[in-house]
């Protein structure tokens, strides 16, 4: 009787839907299904199934029958499907669902098992994955795993399903099996290294989940011992230590691997560069020194010397408390190395580094100019390198006070490298010289060109300087305030910090009604930061945020504050607060991406926390 009423209901309802213009059966079916009105949804899915003969529409219709507990009709339909020659891979799964709805667990299990048993070599990956996903949705991860394992046995590619199986083991709280499933791919072919590393990275938080990271370490050690002639497991162990941030343990493995494969220091050199990129400067220097100690005949000897100096320079100049003695000692190391390896094309970059050190940090301008001119002479056959040397020489001349000589060099580079990044950089630096000397119209003409630069950083810097000029000139018809500000800015560029501070103070005293307050505070921050007066520098940033929170420099100041708290004051909690404030209050800021990255790093990427979800 119930089935008869149901059929009558369908017969009467569908013509009515057509008469009222409701011919979008699929739209109506989806609508009612999402509204959990399965009685009405079944009408439309029935019609769709009759028209399309699609198994997908049958499946939805069948699902509606189960929801409205029309088990008799559902069983009749599923038995018909099972008799078809081209039976679908999911048919037994649906029959199992029907039986489970009637609390017939053992019979349901038989049909679930049959669904897996029916997998054959002709089934596509997508079909197998769909069946496995259906089991997973039903909370039967064990059956999902068995689905992939059955398909794996039939597939010509022995690792076709390893990633999926491993991920399911992980989801099922079986990390040991997950790790073994991933790593077994490497036994088939070490070329799967990238895929295995990617799968492990998705499945394990190496810094937070120490238990699973340690399980991976133990398994990799076991495999290195089992396969002593296969370097892939040593490489994986090195990679694991790097992911954990344990570069010391990685270094031990790297040295052993380098010796084992007789790589003559090449693997250690690569590791040194990895450490340098991760700001592990001391360990990078150790790695490069290891190569230097292999002797002058080593093919990496010269490069290791250069990289040692480069890394040491970054270590010293990035520290918040370096001394003049540190800089002088570094200068002597540069001079010694250049004397030892010679001044030639291969040492131009190191000569440039020495020139930068002498000109920017030691105020030894004559020495800096001399070494850079020598480098330019050596780079005559390497135009791009020659252009970089000229740009650096111009920067030193600007600091020295020879601003028009600097401008001439910038113009040469701009002309020689049209449409190259060097040209854009040179043009911007020349625009700043026009700005420093109060030739604001000429500066603007250069900046207008650069705002369309494909180099995002240069375009942003050009936009920032252009806005500074236009915003403040518009409110100052005499340009006196802007002129004094630009003069003070030049003094900063020339490292004449006390004079710059006096100039800024004179702006406030003689021209009290100007609009450059936040810019002056930012410049004072810059001066104190470069002189290692960090407390006072942070104070200027806080003043910008508190007094000028709606102005253009507020997000810059907040980001710099966060960075100071993280790297100078070593207060990660405070830093996280500032990064979070950027993410919440300054969503359009150019610092959002980096702030989110650093916030995640400090908080451990704990996406489960309420605060983390708030900023996402």
Q: How far apart are CA 76 and CA 276, in angstroms?
A: 69
CA 494 from chain centre, in angstroms, equals 35
Residue 453's closest CA among 408, 432, 422?
422
Copy the structure tokens of residue 305: 């010397």
Per-residue pLDDT at 504 exceeds 90: yes
Q: How far apart are CA 19 and CA 9, in angstroms?
A: 16
Q: How far apart are CA 141 and CA 444, in angstroms?
A: 64
Q: How far apart are CA 498 and CA 494, in angstroms?
A: 11
527 contact partners, CB below 8 Å, separation of at least 6: 492, 497, 500, 501
Q: Among the ranges 83-87, 328-332, 472-476, which has the highest mean pLDDT value?
A: 328-332
Rounded mean pLDDT of 171-194? 96
Confirm whether 539 is domain-assigned. yes
Per-residue pLDDT at 136 exceeds 50: yes
Residue 429's closest CA among 387, 375, 471, 481?
387
Q: 193: pLDDT confidence band, cut at 50, 70 and 90?
A: very high
Rounded mean pLDDT of 567-571? 92
Rounded mean pLDDT of 416-441? 95
Copy the structure tokens of residue 499: 């004079």
600 contact partners, CB below 8 Å, separation of at least 6: 612
Q: What percent of the chain has pLDDT over 90?
A: 83
Q: What percent of the chain has pLDDT over 70?
A: 94
CATH number of the domain at 603, please: 1.25.40
| Inter-residue contact 581 to 608 (CB < 8 Å) | no
Confirm whether 596 is domain-assigned. yes
Helix, strand and coil percent figures for the chain, each rounded to 5: 75, 0, 25
What pLDDT is recorded for position 33?
Answer: 93
Q: What is the pLDDT of residues 369-405, one digit of tens each?
A: 999 999 999 999 999 999 999 999 999 999 999 999 9
Average pLDDT, the chain: 91
| Inter-residue contact 112 to 93 (CB < 8 Å) | yes
Confirm whether 147 is domain-assigned. no
| Inter-residue contact 397 to 357 (CB < 8 Å) | no
CB atoms within 10 A of CB 483: 16
Domain that holds residue 608: 516-615
Confirm whether 129 is domain-assigned. no
Per-residue pLDDT at 8 exceeds 70: no
Q: What is the pLDDT of residues 309-325, one digit of tens each?
A: 999 999 999 988 899 99
171 contact partners, CB below 8 Å, separation of at least 6: 136, 141
What pLDDT is recorded for position 512?
Answer: 76
| Inter-residue contact 193 to 186 (CB < 8 Å) | yes
pTM: 0.80
Per DSSP, helices labelled H in 83-209 are 91-101, 105-117, 125-137, 141-154, 162-171, 175-188, 193-203
What pLDDT is recorded for position 498?
Answer: 96
Confirm whether 353 is domain-assigned. no
Rounded mean pLDDT of 441-452? 94
Residue 167's closest CA among 211, 200, 213, 124?
200
What pLDDT is recorded for position 9?
Answer: 47
CA 434 from chain centre, in angstroms, equals 37
What pLDDT is recorded for position 605?
Answer: 60
Rounded mean pLDDT of 190-194? 97
Confirm whether 376 is domain-assigned. no
Q: How far apart are CA 237 and CA 216, in angstroms?
A: 9
What pLDDT is recorded for position 608?
Answer: 43
Confirm whether 373 is domain-assigned. no
Domain count, the chain: 1
């Amino acid at each position: 009787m119930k089935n008869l009423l149901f059929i009558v209901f369908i017969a009467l309802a569908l013509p009515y839907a057509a008469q009222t213009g409701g011919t979008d059966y699929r739209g109506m079916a989806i609508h009612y299904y999402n509204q959990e009105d399965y009685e009405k949804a079944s009408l439309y899915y029935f019609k769709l199934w009759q028209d399309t003969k699609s198994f997908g529409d049958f499946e939805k219709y069948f699902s509606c029958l189960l929801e409205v507990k029309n088990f008799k009709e559902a069983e009749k339909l599923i038995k018909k499907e099972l008799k078809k020659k081209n039976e679908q891979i999911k048919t037994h799964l649906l029959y199992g669902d029907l039986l489970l709805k009637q609390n017939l667990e053992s019979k349901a299990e038989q049909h679930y098992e049959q669904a897996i048993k029916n997998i054959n070599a002709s089934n596509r990956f997508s079909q197998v994955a769909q069946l496995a996903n259906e089991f997973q949705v039903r909370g039967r991860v064990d059956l999902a795993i068995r689905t992939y394992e059955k398909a794996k046995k039939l597939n010509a590619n022995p690792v076709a399903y390893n990633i999926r199986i491993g991920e399911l083991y992980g989801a099922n709280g079986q990390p040991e099996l997950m790790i073994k499933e991933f790593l077994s791919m490497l036994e088939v072919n070490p070329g799967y290294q990238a895929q295995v590393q990617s799968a492990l990275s998705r499945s394990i938080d190496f810094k937070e989940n120490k238990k699973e990271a340690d399980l991976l370490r133990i398994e990799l050690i076991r495999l290195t011992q089992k396969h002593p002639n296969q370097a892939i497991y040593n490489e994986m162990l090195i990679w694991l230590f790097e992911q954990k941030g344990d570069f010391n343990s990685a270094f031990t493995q790297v040295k052993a691997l380098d010796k084992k494969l007789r790589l003559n220091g090449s693997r250690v050199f690569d590791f040194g560069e990895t450490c340098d990129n991760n700001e592990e400067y001391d360990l990078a220097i150790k790695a490069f020194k290891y190569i230097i100690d292999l002797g002058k005949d080593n093919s990496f000897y010269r490069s290791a010397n250069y990289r040692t100096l480069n890394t040491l320079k970054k270590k010293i100049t990035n520290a918040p408390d370096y001394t003049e003695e540190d800089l002088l000692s570094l200068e002597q190391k540069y001079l010694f190395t250049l004397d030892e390896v010679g001044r030639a094309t291969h040492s131009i970059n190191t000569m440039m580094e020495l020139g930068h050190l002498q000109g920017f940090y030691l105020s030894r301008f004559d020495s800096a100019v001399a070494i850079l001119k020598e480098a330019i002479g050596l780079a005559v056959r390497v135009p791009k390198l020659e252009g970089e040397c000229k740009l650096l020489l111009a920067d030193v001349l600007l600091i020295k006070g020879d601003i028009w000589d600097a401008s001439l060099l910038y113009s040469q580079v701009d002309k020689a490298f049209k449409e190259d990044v060097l040209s854009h950089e040179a043009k911007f630096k020349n625009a700043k010289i026009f700005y420093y000397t109060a030739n604001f119209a000429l500066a603007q003409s250069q900046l207008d060109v650069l705002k369309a630069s494909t180099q995002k950083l240069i375009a942003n810097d050009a936009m920032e300087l252009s806005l500074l000029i236009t915003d403040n000139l518009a409110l100052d018809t005499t340009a006196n305030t802007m002129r004094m500000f630009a003069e003070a800015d030049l003094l900063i560029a020339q490292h004449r910090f006390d004079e710059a501070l006096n100039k800024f103070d004179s702006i406030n005293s003689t021209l009290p009604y100007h609009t450059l307050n936040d810019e002056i505070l930012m410049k004072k921050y810059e001066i104190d930061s470069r002189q290692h007066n960090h407390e006072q520098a942070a104070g200027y940033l806080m003043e910008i945020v508190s007094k000028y929170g709606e102005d253009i420099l507020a997000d810059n100041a907040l980001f710099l504050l966060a960075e100071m708290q993280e790297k100078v004051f070593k207060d990660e909690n405070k830093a996280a607060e500032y990064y979070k404030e950027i993410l919440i209050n300054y969503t359009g800021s150019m610092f959002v991406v980096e702030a989110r990255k650093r916030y995640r790093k400090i908080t451990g990427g704990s996406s489960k926390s309420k605060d983390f979800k708030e900023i996402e």
